[in-house]
């Protein structure tokens, strides 16, 4: 048994990398739905169906706990999966809440009423599907009041990163930041609302300016998971981790190796 990490493609490897550094003794089974990536341009029903299928696959492989290391899946599928009922002894968690808890300076799992927070103007960079879902704003409203969120759909960035075209990805990031700043000239904080985007964190920071605090998810999700497993140690289990993909394993392995700059070998899901 291992903890499952799901992503539509390779972006979730930024979360996996952070979790492995924070929790080196936890086995992780990574599932990339590469055959259907990217999710960010799909409609909500399609994203839900694909996410549900992958999560049940991981549960059936012995992963009692699955992390949706994909903001688009978290936005479009997580709440619905939880509302429709999760099998006994299984859990599925998303990546928005740890980010919002950090932004609003809440302790992990603090469910007290929403309150005023220091940050008032927040830029959200995410996929088109995540932006249209307004899931980030909904989750934020449970924890904070008086925060203005300006969202920017960053079309093309995920595709460029998955294709290994970092020059194009950098150009697209700068263009999207410019578009955001025309709507919100002086954001106090910026949310990198896609697990691919930490690879472009320096570009985001440079385009936004050093005075803007940039939040990305890897370390935050890893710390939240460490806290969760401390409170629910039985969810960690035992067993062998690995890497699975619905795409072509050889191609995905090559790109993942470039992505993390260490050898990664995927097997067919």
Rounded Cα distance between 144 and 139, Å, is 9
- Is residue 154 annotated as part of the catalytic site, yes or no? no
Rounded Cα distance between 98 and 141, Å, is 14
Sign of CA dihedral 87, 221, 154, 58: negative
Residue 62, preceding peptide bond in cis (omega within 30° of 0)? no
- Is residue 70 annotated as part of the catalytic site, yes or no? yes
Closest CA to 20 of 225, 198, 191, 200: 225
Which residue out of 194, 207, 208, 252 is catalytically annotated? 194
Which residue out of 70, 144, 158, 244 is catalytically annotated? 70
Closest CA to 52 of 88, 16, 76, 28: 76
Q: Are 109 and 139 in contact (CB under 8 A)?
A: no
Catalytic (active-site) positions: 70, 194
């Amino acid at each position: 048994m291992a903890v499952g990490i799901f992503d539509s493609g390779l972006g979730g490897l930024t979360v996996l990398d952070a979790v492995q550094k924070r929790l080196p003794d936890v086995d992780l089974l990574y599932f990339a739905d590469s055959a259907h990536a990217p999710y960010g341009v799909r409609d909500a029903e399609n994203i839900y169906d694909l996410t549900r299928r992958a999560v049940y696959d991981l549960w059936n492989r012995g992963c009692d706990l699955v992390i949706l290391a994909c903001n688009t899946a978290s936005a479009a599928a997580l709440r619905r999966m939880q509302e429709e009922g999760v099998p006994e002894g299984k859990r599925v968690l998303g990546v928005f809440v740890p980010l919002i808890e950090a932004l609003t300076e809440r302790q992990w799992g603090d469910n007290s009423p929403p309150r005023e927070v220091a940050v008032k103007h927040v830029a959200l960079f995410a996929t088109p599907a995540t932006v249209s879902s307004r899931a980030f704003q909904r989750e934020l409203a449970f924890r904070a009041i008086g925060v203005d969120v300006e969202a920017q759909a960053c079309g093309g960035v995920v595709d460029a990163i998955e294709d290994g075209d970092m020059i194009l990805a950098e150009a697209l990031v700068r263009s999207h930041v410019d578009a955001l700043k025309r709507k919100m000239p002086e954001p106090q904080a910026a949310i990198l609302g896609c697990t691919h985007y930490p690879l472009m964190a320096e570009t985001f920071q440079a385009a936004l300016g050093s005075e803007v605090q940039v939040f990305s998810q890897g370390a935050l999700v890893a710390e939240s998971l460490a806290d969760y497993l401390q409170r629910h140690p039985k969810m960690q289990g035992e067993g062998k981790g690995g890497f699975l993909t619905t795409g072509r394993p050889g191609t995905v392995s090559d790109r993942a190796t470039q992505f993390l700059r260490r050898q990664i070998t995927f097997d067919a899901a």
